[in-house]
Structure 1
Amino acid sequence: MGELVERVDEQDRVLEVVERAEAVRRRWMHRIATTICRDPTGRILVLRRAKEHVRFPGHYDVLVGGAVGVGESYEDAAARELVEELSVGVPVRFLFRFLCRAGISPVWFGVHEALVAEPLAPDPSEIAWHAWVTEPELRKVVDRGPFVPAGRQALHRYLGCLLDGIAIRLGT
């Protein structure tokens, strides 16, 4: 049996437990927990997915994340994914969620923020390259080139929240 997720409705209410592959194939809504990482100077982590990655190989992204498991919270899944993909165990702070229809199937994205001061050890099966980038640098490139569509959408929302004063920068 494959990875199990909770199929959810338009209000993010659980309908049933299904295999993630089936949810993607049938375009059933499910949950994804993601994190935008910042370093102590405020730069944002940008990564390029491994060429062998199942979804959007070789594309750039600002989100570290994955499927929310059955009975798991967005926050717990986001923290777990940081350990799995970057080998860092740091607290995450929930910012917002949104129904994302860009990409492989409609999913509810729980977007978090984390302050990462420790060295990264990315999983090479997931991440081929990474760098810390300033917000102005990132704004110049996010709408160009091969960028994961959902990551682009989440980043625009995140940056909008910062401008609106909704999200409070970590470490200040």
Structure 2
Amino acid sequence: MSTADEILDIVDENDHVTGQAPRGEIYAKGLRHRSVFVLARDADDRVFVHRRTPVKLVFPSLYDMFVGGVVGAGESYDEAALREAEEELGVSGLPRPVPLFPFQYTSENGAYRSWSYVYEVRCTLPVSPQVEEVAWHDFLPEEELERRLGTWQWAPDGLAAYERLKAFRTGRA
């Protein structure tokens, strides 16, 4: 089964399930679905940053400071956060990601809409990211990540989640 055929829950503006559809149809029609963003830090408190592969269905070849993805039909946010973090980092045995806050994301053109949850996890294991998902990766000090915000092209949903995370940390969210 391709990722476009994966069945996802469709949700309303209050995050209540209203139906299900294949991921490709959800993206094509701009239907609201669920997703997770997991900020992964290593033992030195650096952030896992990566460039998405060019074959990704959304935001191909862009940089991201989160691992994560869609929540499968019937799957909880917490289950999806752990599954996606382990898949994208290429590890098993991660601690359960810590949920921080939910938010809604809508792309500038309105074509991509999700109810999302932001998490954080400590990854002290050696990573081996999926080559299908990750074209390049490194753990960067957060100061370096901040410097790159203005020079690299970032996945807009991840960038929105990161800005909300910074506001959450300072009590402005």
**TM-score, L = length of structure 1:** 0.89
Segments of structure 1 that go 5 or more residues without pairing to the other structure are: 167-172
1:57 aligns with 2:60: yes
Q: Deviations over 1:54-102 (max 9, x none)?
A: 3222210011111111111101001111222222231211111111012
Q: Residues 102 and 144 from structure 1, CA distance in 2 versus in 1: closer, same or farther, beyond 3 angstroms?
A: farther
1:102 aligns with 2:127: no
Q: Which amino acid aligns with 1:19?
A: P
Q: How many residues align?
A: 166
Q: Aligned partners of 1:31, 1:160: CA distance in 2, in Å?
A: 22
Q: Which amino acid aligns with 1:56?
A: F
Per-residue deviation at 1:12? 0.6
Aligned to 1:170: none
SS in 2 for 1:78: helix
Q: Which amino acid aligns with 1:141?
A: R
The 8 Å contact of residues 37 and 161 in structure 2, kept in 1 or not, is answered as: no
The 8 Å contact of residues 37 and 158 in structure 2, kept in 1 or not, is answered as: no
Per-residue deviation at 1:165? 9.2
Q: Aligned partners of 1:151, 1:45: CA distance in 2, in Å?
A: 13
Aligned to 2:77: 74
Q: Residues 165 and 107 from structure 1, CA distance in 2 versus in 1: closer, same or farther, beyond 3 angstroms?
A: closer
Structure 1 stretch displaced more, 56-65 or 80-89: 80-89
Q: Aligned partners of 2:56, 2:160: CA distance in 1, in Å?
A: 20
Aligned to 1:7: 10
Q: Aligned partners of 2:97, 2:12: CA distance in 1, in Å?
A: 25
In the TM superposition, 1:129-144 aligns within 5 A as 129-144=136-151
In the TM superposition, 1:1-172 aligns within 5 A as 2-89=5-92, 90=94, 91-102=96-107, 105-164=112-171
Q: Which amino acid aligns with 2:154?
A: F
Q: Deviations over 1:130-162 (max 9, x none)?
A: 111122221222243311000111111112222
Q: Which amino acid aligns with 2:25?
A: E
**TM-score, L = length of structure 2:** 0.89
SS in 2 for 1:96: strand
Q: Aligned partners of 2:26, 2:60: CA distance in 1, in Å?
A: 20
Q: Percent identity?
A: 34
Q: Residues 110 and 149 from structure 1, CA distance in 2 versus in 1: closer, same or farther, beyond 3 angstroms?
A: same
Q: What is the Cα-based RMSD across aligned positions, in Å?
A: 1.8
Segments of structure 2 that go 5 or more residues without pairing to the other structure are: none
Structure 1 stretch displaced more, 108-117 or 143-152: 143-152
